[in-house]
Every structure is written in structure tokens, then in C-alpha cells.
């Protein structure tokens, strides 16, 4: 690249105009790329939003599965939560403890307790006048997890309120719980 010294004002203007045109073209490409990126992000977001409202668990196994998944999803991404849930599900399926699938001792104990007491918990949940307060009292369920579980159980909408909005309203709901329900029926 040569120095601007010794060049005429007309040469510099021509060079500047050429650079301005290229910059404008690059800007147009960036804007078009940004529009495409926004459109793809909107499509992905729409795909993550459920098309139907959350389902209500039909049996104790589905209820326990929803609670267990909510515990597994605490403070982690949905991908990590799914893997942790799968490990816990397999451990419970063979009659083991969630501790073999989950490193956090307190959460694993809460999962084991929910699984052991799932029939009583489901019965109490079904009879509870304030279901949100009831799930807040479940083992391993804190304030944020309570709202996440409430969305899974269909008690609040995906948009929700409070801390639940901060942790993504696109987590799978009862579908994962149905996987746990199968293990309850398989064990008899």
C-alpha cells in the first residue's frame, strides 16, 4: 500500500470513494447475514416452544419423573440435565440409587426419596389446594426449581413468572417423566 504523500486530492477522493463503496457493500452483506441469523434463531426458538400446553401427570411415576427431571436440571443446561436424568432413570430402573447416576449427594437423596414416596406424594399433590406451595415442599425443590417444576406440571405457563423465566421455558416436560413411568411398571 503506497503512502498518500505525493498523490493528488482527486486520487485520494477516488480511492476513498472506492473504499466507501466496498464498505457499504460489506455492510449490506452483514445486514443480510444478520437478518438470516435472526430468522434462523427465531425458527429455532419457535421449535423449542411447545405447541400444546403442558400435560398433567396421570400417575405417580410421571409425577415423580417430572420432579426428578426438575432436580436434575437445576443450574445446568438442558443437555446436561437430560444426561443426568438418563443416568438416574437407569439406576432407578434396576432398583439402584440415584447416587450412582448423580454425583450431588443431597440431590441424589432427594431423588431417591421422591421415587420411594412417589405414590403418597402424587396423592397429596392431587389433593393439594395450593399445588405450587406443595411442590415447593418436595425434597430437593427450591424456589427456582419449584417454578421450573410448576411449568412442567402445567401449573404456570411457559412465560411463567419469577425466577422460572430466567432458566428457559423450553425444557421437556412430561415426556421425560413418561420414561420414568415405564420403569415403575416394569419393576411391578
Name the nearest CA neighbour of 148 among 60, 76, 41, 62. 76
Judge whether residue 174 has pLDDT over 60: no
What is the percent of the chain with per-residue pLDDT over 70, rounded to a whole number?
Answer: 64
Rounded to whole angstroms, the Cα distance separating 57 from 128 reads 15
Q: What angle do CA 74, 112, 137 make, to 5 degrees?
A: 60
Question: pTM of the predicted model, to two decimals?
Answer: 0.57
Q: What is the grid cell recorded at 104?
A: 450431588
Check residue 164 and give its pLDDT: 39
Whether the Cβ atoms of residue 150 and residue 135 lie closer than 8 Å to each other: yes
pLDDT score of 187 = 56
Q: Rounded to the nearest 10 degrees, how much is the dihedral formed by the CA atoms of 48, 53, 59, 65?
A: 20
Q: Is 102 helix (H, G, I), strand (E, B) or coil?
A: coil
Digit-coded pLDDT (tens) for 40-70:
666 665 555 444 445 678 888 888 888 999 8
Give residue 34's pLDDT. Answer: 65
- pLDDT for 18 equals 77
Note the pLDDT tens digit of each residue in 115-142: 999 999 999 999 999 988 999 999 999 8
The pLDDT > 90 percentage for the chain reads 13
Calculate the average pLDDT of the chain.
Answer: 74
Which residue in this structure is represented by grid cell 440409587? Answer: 97
Burial of 178 (0-12, 13-18, 19+ CB in 10 A): middle
Work out the average pLDDT over 23-30: 68
**How do residues 136-166 score in pLDDT, each as one tens digit?**
999 999 888 888 888 888 888 655 444 434 3
Give the pLDDT confidence score for residue 38 in this predicted structure. 67
Amino acid at each position: 500500500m503506497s503512502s498518500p504523500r505525493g498523490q493528488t486530492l482527486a486520487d485520494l477522493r477516488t480511492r476513498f470513494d472506492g473504499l466507501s463503496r466496498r464498505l457499504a457493500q460489506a455492510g449490506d452483506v452483514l445486514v443480510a447475514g444478520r437478518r438470516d441469523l435472526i430468522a434462523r434463531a427465531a425458527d429455532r426458538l419457535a421449535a423449542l416452544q411447545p405447541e400444546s400446553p403442558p400435560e398433567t401427570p396421570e400417575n405417580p411415576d410421571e409425577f415423580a419423573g417430572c420432579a426428578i427431571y426438575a432436580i436434575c436440571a437445576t443450574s445446568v443446561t438442558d443437555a446436561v440435565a437430560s444426561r443426568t436424568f438418563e443416568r438416574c432413570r437407569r439406576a432407578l430402573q434396576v432398583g439402584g440409587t440415584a447416587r450412582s447416576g448423580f454425583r450431588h449427594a443431597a440431590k441424589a437423596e432427594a431423588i431417591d426419596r421422591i421415587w420411594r414416596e412417589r405414590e403418597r406424594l402424587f396423592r397429596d399433590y392431587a389433593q393439594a389446594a395450593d399445588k405450587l406451595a406443595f411442590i415447593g415442599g418436595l425434597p430437593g425443590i427450591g424456589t427456582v426449581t419449584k417454578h421450573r417444576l410448576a411449568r412442567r406440571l402445567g401449573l404456570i405457563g411457559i412465560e411463567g413468572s419469577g425466577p422460572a423465566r430466567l432458566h428457559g421455558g423450553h425444557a421437556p416436560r412430561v415426556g421425560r417423566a413418561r420414561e420414568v413411568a415405564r420403569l415403575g411398571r416394569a419393576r411391578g
